[in-house]
Homo-oligomer: A and B are copies of this chain.
Amino acid sequence: MAKTEKTTVERIVEAAESRIRTAGFHGFSFRDVAGDVGIKSASVHHHFPTKDALGVAVARSYTDRFLRALGDPGDESRGPEALLAAYAGLFRRALMVEGKMCLCGVLAAESAGLSAPVQLAARDFFQRNLAWLKGVHSRQFPGAAEDAIEAEALRTIALMEGAILTARALDDVGVFDVLTQKGSLGGLAVLQKV
């Protein structure tokens, strides 16, 4: 049976992630997580002394897992298009299969009410995502200027976060697919002139 069993720490982080993605950082307690795992809240404190420490651990675990799933943006065996499709697929899965928000999207929303360490851990998710996306987009548009690549990467992650947020607000997961398909009439082009 190898290493199929999860450690308590892993189960705590998993439960906390689920709770945060459902109700936000202030929307769960140590007792909630302990109950999910099947231990007492004091035992959660044994592994994570403070709620902030737990929050940081959850954000790091989420970010690491996310980027591990993405793989190398320079992977020659996969074209930029396939990589972007996989990227959108991760957010789609978060919404449709897990039925939850992006963890760091939630943390970003309540960012101003979080301690600095948790805030920074959430920011790190965005920064590492942007770095990955820039790698992909620069393969996609070899001659493009650095600024344009940067803007495109921002656009891609903002679209994902906006799509998952809007889909949840409207309680209609289909909205995500509408938003991640190309079909824009270009209605916002005008904003350029403002």
Residues of A within 8 A of B (CB): 22-27, 80-81, 84-85, 88-89, 100-101, 104-114, 119, 122-123, 125-127, 137, 140-141, 144, 148, 150-152, 154-163, 165-166, 168-171, 175, 178-194
Check B140 against A166 for contact (C-beta < 8 Å). Answer: no
| Chain B proximity of A78: nearest CB distance (Å) | 12
Given A109-B165, A159-B159, A182-B186, 14 other A-B residues pairs in contact with their CB atoms under 8 A: A23-B26, A24-B27, A24-B109, A84-B191, A85-B193, A88-B191, A126-B166, A148-B183, A157-B166, A159-B162, A159-B188, A160-B162, A161-B165, A182-B192
**Known A81-B190, A123-B171, A169-B123: A183·B151 in contact at CB below 8 Å:** yes
Compute how far the CA of A137 lies from the CA of B190 in the bound complex, rounded to whole angstroms: 12
Partner of A162, one of B165, B170, B175, B190: B165
Check B170 against A27 for contact (C-beta < 8 Å). Answer: no
Compute how far the CA of A178 lies from the CA of B105 in the bound complex, rounded to whole angstroms: 19
The residues of B that contact A144 with a CB separation of less than 8 Å are 185
Question: Chain B: which residue is nearest A149 at the CB level?
Answer: B185
**Known A162-B163, A165-B165, A185-B137: A123·B191 in contact at CB below 8 Å:** no
Number of copies: 2
| Chain B proximity of A162: nearest CB distance (Å) | 3
Question: Chain B: which residue is nearest A153 at the CB level?
Answer: B187
Question: Chain B: which residue is nearest A100 at the CB level?
Answer: B112
**Known A141-B187, A151-B183, A154-B178: A170·B123 in contact at CB below 8 Å:** yes
The residue in A81, A157, A183, A188 that gathers the most chain B C-beta atoms within 10 A of its C-beta is A188
Partner of A158, one of B23, B24, B112, B166: B166
Compute how far the CA of A85 lies from the CA of B156 in the bound complex, rounded to whole angstroms: 21
Check B185 against A192 for contact (C-beta < 8 Å). Answer: no
